[in-house]
A and B are shown apart, each in its own frame.
Chain A
Amino acid sequence: MNYDEIIPKKIRDIQPSGIRKFFDIAQHVPDVISLSIGEPDFKTPWTVRKEAINILERGKTAYTANSGLMQLRKSVCGYLHDFINTDYDPESEVIITVGGSEAIDLAVRALIEPGCEVLVPEPSFVCYSPIVRMMGGTPVPIVTKAEDKFRLTAQALKEKITDRTRMLVLPYPNNPTGAVMRKNDLESIAEVLRGTNIIVASDEIYAEMTYNGIKHVSIAEIDGMKERTLVISGFSKAYAMTGWRLGYIAGPQPIIKQMLKLHQYCIMSSPTVSQYAAIKAIEDCKPDVVHMVEEYDMRRRLCVKAFNDMGLECFEPEGAFYVFPCIKSTGMSSEEFCEKLVYDKKVAVVPGNAFGQSGEGFVRVSYAYSVQHLETAFSRIRDFLKEN
């Protein structure tokens, strides 16, 4: 059977994630220590796990409403009210999704058709462009630069807007750079977008992880932006609940209503046990989040200093749990650097170009690891730099 004939070209042409490609290399090297993981090293807080056990014991295992348990939707809306000063109607303006990933997928599928352009600041998470292409849309990268602290500027945005632009993905706090958009940055982006028909898909999955006393601001909070913004977030990163697969999307009712059909036919409803547990997470786990963020912050400082001391210039990230040091001084490409490092010194970091061409010359280092683990990796990287 010629499978190529039956699998549409548009699907065959999708490239596997660059992160994945590097994983395939790293996993064949024995005793590798990894700085490549994009998920917390903390366990889900015990109160949340215990709640899930309770729910299982009580046999609450049926489907929920398509858009999620009403109690959870109310909790999420209450949380968004407190956290980003934005009010959503739990009846009609929020869907509980299978992770932030499904929320991104819904946003793109509900809004993008052939001919549409979607603006994607890069470097950024790997899933936006492939989904846009699957819908027949055209992803348009906007390069962000270290000298702008990897923030999206109004100027760069304006240059890429055409009459075909349907959506702007706003992935901040950013994976892989750790960049954060401050309120004034968002004001100037909003200035460009108000009065257009461009929808902002604001991926705020790392919103709770901001440092240096900076509080996360959502573009939905800016005047005139709520009606053109989809807020995407979830429980994976803030509550260390990656495997529970639970996220949400909040936005204008007419869009949410359309998305709900996609979600209903594809997912039915998000995992029930996870939903009950998530209610507990919002109710009880604020201190856990604060504790985890304090821990990340200490490691973040340690990483920034370590890389700068090594001579790999490292921008100080203000969010997420990654640092994004520049490796251009080694004369190697990102992929050469990462492959050589993993073979020679058994340390895995992710090549920056996995997150878009503008990530070339950088590597992504996760600090979701113990201090001891980080120190071991740093000493190996120091040796590597001496030898190369």
Chain B
Amino acid sequence: MDKNKLLDLLRQNARLSNAEIAAMTGETEENVANGIKALEDEGYIIGYSAIIDEEKADDSGVTAVIELKITPIKDRGFDDLAHTIMEFDEVDSVYLMSGAYDLMVTISGTSLRNVALFVSERLAVLDGVLSTATHFILRRYKEKHHIFNEEKYDDRSMVSP
């Protein structure tokens, strides 16, 4: 079945059942199951997770975005250091960026102090790290097309032509 269609549907809602996807796309359930399996096997889908309002789930937890400037290594570029950084459990995501800095790292921790210590004691000291800048997330408005604290309302009248 159409790979992009399937990815689109799962991007919107990964919890749709195979039966629902089959009904929606006019495919058989078996085709849907095989399609998803192929996407997983081929590495298009690398995992599933819920989008959680972390402020509600853990109101003392903090998330920070850290900008890292680093020195690329001959023939290896930024990959070695990126791999080292992503091995830390505290690290949620690591991206190589264009622009004013090189790596963007997001980190979750139990307190501002813990995150700040992690940055100064574990990241800043790594060979090749030139500088860090830490930004704490104060409020989440939207993530992956989902809106936090959205008032669910339908301003259409209940019955209409």
Contact = CB atoms under 8 A, between A and B. Distances in A.
B160 interface: yes
Interface string B21-58: 00111100000000000000000000000000000000
A41 B154 contact: yes
B25 A37 contact: no
B159 A26 contact: yes
A39 B157 CA distance: 10
A37 B157 CA distance: 7
Interface of B: 9, 13, 16, 20, 23-26, 154, 156-161
Contacts, number: 60
Contact of A305 (B23, B156, B157, B161): B23
Contact of B161 (A175, A299, A301, A372): A175
A375 B20 contact: yes
Contacts of A37: 154, 156-160
Given A41-B154, A371-B13, A371-B16, A22 B24 contact: no
Contacts of A23: 157-160
B96 to A, nearest CB: 31
A89 to B, nearest CB: 31
A52 B95 CA distance: 39
Q: Which of A20, A27, A125, A371 has the most CB of B within 10 A?
A: A371
A330 interface: no
Contacts of B160: 19, 23, 36-39
A74 B16 CA distance: 44
A26 B160 CA distance: 12
A146 interface: no
A301 B26 contact: yes
A371 B161 CA distance: 21
Given A302-B23, A348-B159, A350-B159, 11 more contacts: A23-B157, A34-B158, A36-B158, A36-B159, A37-B157, A39-B161, A41-B156, A125-B161, A127-B161, A371-B20, A375-B20
List of 3 A-B pairs having minimum Cβ-Cβ separation, nearest first: A23-B159, A298-B24, A36-B159
Given A41-B154, A371-B13, A299 B159 contact: no
Contacts of B16: 371
What secondary structure prevails in chain B residues at the interface with A?
loop
Contacts of B9: 298
Contacts of A375: 20
A126 B26 CA distance: 32
A80 interface: no
Contact of B159 (A34, A127, A306, A371): A34
Contacts of A47: none
Nearest to B26: A301
Interface in A268-299: 298-299
A376 interface: no
Nearest to A29: B158
B158 A348 contact: yes
Interface in A302-320: 302, 305-306
A321 to B, nearest CB: 12
Contacts of B24: 298-299, 301-302, 371
Given A41-B154, A371-B13, A371-B20, A126 B161 contact: yes
A37 B16 CA distance: 24
Nearest to A309: B23
A157 interface: no
A17 B157 CA distance: 15
A37 B158 CA distance: 6
11 contacts: A23-B158, A37-B154, A37-B158, A37-B160, A38-B160, A127-B161, A175-B161, A302-B24, A371-B24, A372-B13, A375-B20
A51 B13 CA distance: 32
Contacts of A36: 158-160
Interface string A363-375: 0000000011001
A84 interface: no
A59 to B, nearest CB: 28
A134 interface: no
A17 B161 contact: yes
Contacts of A135: none
A41 B156 CA distance: 8
A377 to B, nearest CB: 13
Contacts of B26: 301
